[in-house]
Every structure is written in C-alpha cells, then in structure tokens.
C-alpha cells in the first residue's frame, strides 16, 4: 500500500523560505501569486492492505518523527 504524508508549517509560523520563493517569483515577473508556503512530501510504502491500520501507523510516524507539531501540521493520504 502506498501513502503520502504532507507536512506544512502552521499558519502562525513565519516561513522565510516561502517568502524568499515569493520574492523570486516577483523577480521572474510572474504575476498573480499572492503567497507561497513551503512544505514537505513523504511517499511511504507500507506492508499489508488494512487502510485503517495504515492510517494509525502513519499518525504515529508523523507524531514521533516526520512532523514537529510545535510548528508543523501533517496530512495523511492513503493512495
């Protein structure tokens, strides 16, 4: 089974890398981009095909390692 975990900074946390990308897009004269926030994607392969168990496992993986929940949110997609 394949899953995708998306980790993003919480909205209240300043994202200087996103801000720098916004500035670079302005430099490229790309118009209409209001803001950019940078995050991370993890593509994960799991044993078995129990989707509920996979979701529980991935929650644990996120809480224990993939996200620092002081400043980051995570979302899990089973694909």
Partner 1 sequence: MRAAVIQFPGVNREGDAARALRQATGDEPAIVWHAENELPPGLDLVVLPGGFSYGDYLRCGAIAARSPVMRAVHAHAARGGLTLGICNGFQVLCEAGLLPGVLMRNAQLRFVCKMQYLRVENAKTPFTRSYAPGEVVKFAIAHGEGNFIADDDTVRRIEAEGRVAFRYCDAQGQAGNGSNPNGSTNSIAGVFNDRFNVLGLMPHPENLIDSLAGGIDGRALFTSLAAGSRFV
List contacts with partner 1 (CB under 8 A). 13-14, 16-17, 20, 64-66, 68, 70-71
Is 27 or 32 the residue whose CB approaches partner 1 more closely? 27
Supply the minimum distance, in Å, between the C-beta of residue 70 and partner 1. Answer: 5
Is 20 or 53 the residue whose CB approaches partner 1 more closely? 20
Is 12 or 29 the residue whose CB approaches partner 1 more closely? 12
Measure the CA–CA gap between 33 and 57, rounded to whole angstroms. 36
Cα torsion angle, 68, 69, 70, 73, sign: positive
Supply the minimum distance, in Å, between the C-beta of residue 40 and partner 1. Answer: 8
Supply the minimum distance, in Å, between the C-beta of residue 42 and partner 1. Answer: 9
Token match 């500035």: residue?
A: 23
3, 48 Cβ separation under 8 angstroms? no
């Amino acid at each position: 089974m394949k899953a995708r975990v998306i980790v993003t900074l919480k909205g209240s946390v300043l994202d200087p890398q996103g801000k720098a990308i916004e500035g670079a897009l302005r430099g490229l004269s790309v118009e209409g981009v209001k803001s950019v926030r940078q995050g991370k994607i993890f593509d994960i392969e799991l044993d078995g095909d129990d989707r509920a168990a996979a979701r529980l496992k991935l929650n644990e993986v996120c809480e224990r390692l993939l996200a620092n929940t002081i400043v980051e949110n995570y979302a899990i997609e089973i694909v």
